[in-house]
Homo-oligomer: A and B are copies of this chain.
Amino acid sequence: MKFKVRFLPDHVVAEFVRGTTVLDAASKAGVEIQTTCGGKGTCRKCKVIVEGEAKMAADTKLDKELIEKGYRLACQTYVTGDITVHVPEEARVKEGQILTAHSSFRPKKLEPMTRALELHLPRPGQKDNLGDLERLARALGKEAGQLRPPVDLLRLLPRRLRDLDWKVNALLAADDLGGELLDILPEGSCHLGAALDIGTTTVVLSLVDLEKGDIISTASDYNKQMRLGDDVITRISYAEEGGLEELREQVLQTINQLVLSARANAPELVADCDISALSVAGNTTMIHLFLGLEPKHIRYDPYIPTTNVPPLLRGKETGLVMHPEGLVYCIPGRASFVGGDVTADVIASGMHGRSELALLIDVGTNGEVVLGNQEFLVGCSTSAGPAFEGGEVACGMRAMSGAIEKVCIDEELETQLSVIGDAEPLGVCGSGLIDLLAQMFRCGLVDRKGRIQGGKWPRVRQTEIGPEYVVAFAEKGKVKKREIVIREDDIANLIRTKAALYAGCSVLLKSVDKEFSQLDRVYIAGGFGNYIGIENAILIGLLPDLPRDRFEFIGNGALAGAVQTLLSAEKRFEARQVYDDMTYIELSNSQLFFNEFSSASFLPHTDLERFPSVARQLGKK
């Protein structure tokens, strides 16, 4: 027997068997509900209001007060009769700020992953009786046997060459990618590629004209895997429990929809054209899930991936909407937690080709850091956690409509908020959290240990579980609207995250006997990198206290690196060199890291001498 489930305010109705969770029902009905724990009942992001017969799991971790108001965790509530589900705004996955901008790039020499060569072949005759394939090979300056076309193409070849009257567009893999013949197309066919950044949270795709090297259009969306878990560890667990294929399908759906969106925004010519080359940047887990590789061992010491250097694949092997023989290249990663996205960042920054000493920080779900120049590269992952992406912080949320992205607390302790989409605030995203913590610290609302200073401040309240700071008050008369508050445990999580990042940087510098002051440049990459306020980030000790002109935002370096490797054999070679040359430093059992982490677990740091500009500000007060 099936029961009706009505979702509001969507007015979507669908039927489900007894025992379906409300979260699964929503997913199947196409109603998106946030979850960051993969439906384990721990993140409490999937709060919905349920009317009707639905059984709640006995051990649901939800405040009594909320339960009494009708709130339920969608993942812990089972359909046992006809029900109506109100999905409140804060539980929705919404369009947000996904960083698609990237360094403009036109390689010196355009050598895209695939080549499309116009050929006018001489017609065969008794004096020139080469086989069709050998005739093609000769015209391409290759030896017979080198083209290695797919057998399906070979089967079509005689007819196609003659139908096209020997005037063709030969689609080939670039020489560094094997040089194989992929297809024979009519003259003047368009030649299209794509660059793809598969993030744990967001996926971005750019269509690229491979002849000109221009980006035609870009589309982005949340990774549909999100509903199965918010971070890589949760997703690996999900895969371990038999969910690998589902995870793969989710990201394929995401990507394939992006292809359609990007095409829809492209000129008409492009709409019918197959993508013949795809360069993919992603962290090691995302690449595993995209290719359907078992990610299990990434998670456990000694953190071994199936591969850091995935072989070149064909479109048909991936399930993507592209030319079945088109090439899929994954940028190699250095380790399980310093993946191809970081290699792409390095490529985009250009740090590996310059003499100046540079530090690259990718502030994503994990915080990856690379130090080096043309002589050397060292990298590490701080496993910083998702505090800056909305996880582990009660009021935290992703950078989407309703997120507080900037916070300023002025001299009169007035709090000014800037909200994405000019909407009512629903929570605070990463850049907002940095601002919030920095401004609270600057004003003395929190001390160097992250403790909220009680008493005299109007927005500070004492509760049973400790003091809290009210970022935004609930507006009266709105039932579902809740206050946005930050508590000491949230602040502790933020400090832990920033301390881990800073400590990672310290360890890398010490590993090559350098100091922060010797850095010529600090590149900031990653999902919300561009939105960070440098001053506030230094104030809390997330970034080192260096002259501000040494900081450079490179935007979505993963996407930029994917575009560059899509278009340039040299960049593909460099990506491989980054893999070969980078020394990976494992922090998980490093005593040095733990010492540095402990020292950095203050605002801005135990050692104020490291943050002279912050010391000056604090001194002034």
Cα separation A311 to B158 with both chains bound (whole Å): 15
**Which one of A301-309, A360-368, A439-447 is at the B interface?**
A301-309
Q: A145-B576, A296-B158 are contacts. A132–B311 as well, Cβ < 8 Å?
A: no
**Oligomeric state, in number of copies?**
2
Q: A145-B332, A312-B148 are contacts. A307–B126 as well, Cβ < 8 Å?
A: no
Report A133-150 CB contacts with B as 1/0, cut-off 8 Å: 110000000001101110
Cβ contact within 8 Å between B131 and A294: no
Cβ contact within 8 Å between A129 and B306: no
Cβ contact within 8 Å between A145 and B309: yes
Cβ contact within 8 Å between B310 and A154: yes
Closest Cβ of chain B to A511, distance in Å, is: 15
Cα separation A131 to B148 with both chains bound (whole Å): 29
Closest Cβ of chain B to A165, distance in Å, is: 15
Cα separation A307 to B332 with both chains bound (whole Å): 36
Cβ contact within 8 Å between B579 and A144: yes
A159 at the B interface (CB under 8 A): yes
Closest Cβ of chain B to A75, distance in Å, is: 29
Selected contact of A132 from candidates B155, B305, B335, CB within 8 Å = B305
Q: Which residue of B lies closest to A305 (CB)?
A: B131
Closest Cβ of chain B to A153, distance in Å, is: 10
Chain B residues with CB under 8 A of A144: 307-309, 332, 579
Cβ contact within 8 Å between A335 and B129: yes
Selected contact of A307 from candidates B125, B132, B318, CB within 8 Å = B132
Selected contact of A129 from candidates B292, B313, B586, CB within 8 Å = B586
A472-508 interface (Cβ within 8 A of B): none
Cβ contact within 8 Å between B148 and A308: no
Closest Cβ of chain B to A284, distance in Å, is: 8
Cα separation A128 to B158 with both chains bound (whole Å): 51
Cβ contact within 8 Å between A155 and B304: no
Q: Which residue of B lies closest to A162 (CB)?
A: B297
Q: Which residue of B lies closest to A123 (CB)?
A: B302
A88-142 interface (Cβ within 8 A of B): 124-126, 128-134
- Which residue among A124, A147, A293, A312 has the maximum number of chain B CB atoms within 10 Å of its CB? A293
Q: A126-B589, A291-B151 are contacts. A307–B131 as well, Cβ < 8 Å?
A: yes
Chain B residues with CB under 8 A of A589: 126
Chain B residues with CB under 8 A of A318: 151
Cβ contact within 8 Å between B304 and A132: yes
A424 at the B interface (CB under 8 A): no
A14 at the B interface (CB under 8 A): no
Cβ contact within 8 Å between B576 and A131: no
A29 at the B interface (CB under 8 A): no
- Which residue among A134, A148, A306, A584 has the maximum number of chain B CB atoms within 10 Å of its CB? A306
A157 at the B interface (CB under 8 A): yes
Cβ contact within 8 Å between A154 and B302: no
A317 at the B interface (CB under 8 A): yes
- Which residue among A126, A148, A157, A307 has the maximum number of chain B CB atoms within 10 Å of its CB? A307
A232-274 interface (Cβ within 8 A of B): none
Cβ contact within 8 Å between B155 and A125: no
Closest Cβ of chain B to A338, distance in Å, is: 11
Closest Cβ of chain B to A571, distance in Å, is: 15
Cα separation A576 to B143 with both chains bound (whole Å): 11
A146-178 interface (Cβ within 8 A of B): 147-149, 151, 154-155, 157-159
Chain B residues with CB under 8 A of A145: 309, 311, 332, 576
Cβ contact within 8 Å between B124 and A307: no
Cα separation A151 to B309 with both chains bound (whole Å): 13
Chain B residues with CB under 8 A of A302: 124-126, 128-129
Cα separation A306 to B153 with both chains bound (whole Å): 11
Q: Which residue of B lies closest to A335 (CB)?
A: B129
Closest Cβ of chain B to A301, distance in Å, is: 7
- Which residue among A158, A297, A317 has the maximum number of chain B CB atoms within 10 Å of its CB? A158
Cβ contact within 8 Å between B131 and A304: yes
Cα separation A253 to B332 with both chains bound (whole Å): 43
Chain B residues with CB under 8 A of A148: 311-312
Chain B residues with CB under 8 A of A579: 144
Q: Which residue of B lies closest to A311 (CB)?
A: B148
Cα separation A124 to B128 with both chains bound (whole Å): 57
A17-72 interface (Cβ within 8 A of B): none
- Which residue among A297, A336, A589 has the maximum number of chain B CB atoms within 10 Å of its CB? A297
Cα separation A147 to B309 with both chains bound (whole Å): 10
Q: A129-B304, A335-B129 are contacts. A297–B154 as well, Cβ < 8 Å?
A: no
Q: A158-B294, A296-B158, A302-B125 are contacts. A151–B313 as well, Cβ < 8 Å?
A: yes
Cβ contact within 8 Å between B149 and A306: no
In the A-B complex, the 5 residue pairs with the smallest Cβ-Cβ separation, listed nearest first, are A133-B307, A144-B309, A148-B311, A145-B309, A131-B307
Question: Can you list 28 residue pairs at the A/B interface with Cβ under 8 Å?
Answer: A124-B304, A126-B301, A126-B586, A129-B302, A129-B303, A129-B304, A130-B308, A132-B297, A132-B305, A133-B309, A134-B307, A134-B309, A144-B332, A145-B311, A145-B576, A147-B311, A149-B311, A151-B311, A151-B313, A151-B317, A151-B318, A154-B293, A154-B311, A155-B294, A157-B293, A158-B293, A158-B297, A158-B304
Binding site for B on A (CB under 8 A): 124-126, 128-134, 144-145, 147-149, 151, 154-155, 157-159, 291-294, 296-297, 301-313, 317-318, 332, 335-336, 576, 579, 584, 586, 589
A-B contacts besides A130-B304, A134-B309, A158-B296, 10 pairs, CB < 8 Å: A124-B304, A131-B307, A133-B307, A145-B332, A147-B311, A148-B311, A154-B310, A155-B292, A157-B307, A158-B293
